[in-house]
Amino acid sequence: MKRVNSTPRPGWKAFAQSVGFNFHTFDGEPYWDESAYYQFSLQQIEQDLEDPTEELHQMALDLVDDIISDEQKLRQLQIPSQFWDAVRASWRSKEPHLYGRMDFSYNGTGPAKLLELNYDTPTSLYETGFFQWVWLEDQLLRGELPQGADQFNSLQDKLQQAFAELDLPQPFYFASVTESIEDKGTVDYLMDIALQAGLNSRYIQLEQLGDIDGQLVDLDGFPVQGLFKLYPWEFMLQEDFAGTILTSQTQFIEPLWKCLLSNKGILPLLWQKYQGHPNLLPAFFDDGSALQNGWVRKPLLSREGANIELVTNDGKALKQDGPYNDSGYIRQALAPLPQFNGNYTLIGSWVVADSAAGICIREDNSLITKDSSRFLPHIILD
């Protein structure tokens, strides 16, 4: 695994705009960055990332029965008690799921260490599945990459296959919050894939969903029988229409049981059940007593690095502010992100329909990866 400087494609920003990648730059700073790429060997991809991703995914799924059968665990995850039965029913009726992303600390040697599961509303989907693949093809044609270079990236194909195979009601709605350009871009991408898979797909702003007689409805009052929502379950369960979730016949992607796996509390539960697994880090529900040196403290419910606090092995403290300060915390042993040319590097590994489907790379000048952290493409080359 190494970081390789690269010549950006001429006119790539104009191309990005033309294909709907409207969030390639944030506040004048690059989000998409093709001035460098990461190179992996096939063995690193297959043995150190792909295989552990599928194993850890199955381990996480195997925890769901344990959690829904144990009220203490549901309380530890701070799942509202009025939704316990609905979460159980969602899992026991085998409501299908689509995708998720794991984040790893990995430097090219030794086992990749799981930092967290993003299993409800993972983003970086469009830039992983489409834009970095186009970058690979363009740079091969331009001679900027060695012939034979490949990419661990079957994300778009597997998403299309999943949409074709899932038994989803039609029309099927896709929703995001109005003000987020990134969320809208992600949802548009997924909706386009679903259309290619033959699904009758429609977009609706999340704020436009309504309730008639306990059923979720669109602006015209028609029942929303199927809904992909790029909006966290923990937020939905606090909204005014949260009770509608208990009465509506809507099939959700992701299903309600995914609220268990997207909760940071899954990390100490994984450690309890699989203590010593080479890809897991020691993790505990935080009472201040565990891991006095070299730790990361995370809210149960947080995203994009917000409200994360860490202390390095030599005592250096870092903290990222944010809005997620109203839940419990977990404490996890620190697996410092590797540094390449002064950049701290995090690997996101995608799962679609229970199969590993590709990786994405995020870089930052801090050990804490944030929503503003740069996205860099990657290649496989032996």
First to last CA, the chain: 11
Closest CA to 378 of 342, 351, 350, 353: 350
Model pLDDT, residue 152: 98
Inter-residue contact 19 to 188 (CB < 8 Å): no
Q: Which ranges of the chain have pLDDT less than 70?
A: 288-290
DSSP string, 101-143: EEEEE--SSS--EEEEEE-SS---HHIIIIIHHHHHHHHHHTT
Model pLDDT, residue 333: 96
Model pLDDT, residue 241: 80
Torsion of CA 234, 71, 268, 232, to 10 degrees: -10
The C-alpha atoms of residue 236 and residue 242 are separated, in whole angstroms, by 6
Quote helix, strand, coil % in the chain, to nearest 5. Answer: 30, 25, 40
Closest CA to 298 of 266, 271, 276: 266
Model pLDDT, residue 371: 82
26 forms bridges with which residues in the sheet? 29
Cα separations in angstroms, 208 against 153, 224, 226, 249:
34, 11, 15, 18
Model pLDDT, residue 293: 80
For 316-359, write each residue's pLDDT tens digit.
888 888 777 777 999 999 999 999 999 999 999 999 999 999 99
Report helix angle 266-273 to 51-68, nearest 10. Answer: 100
Model pLDDT, residue 5: 97
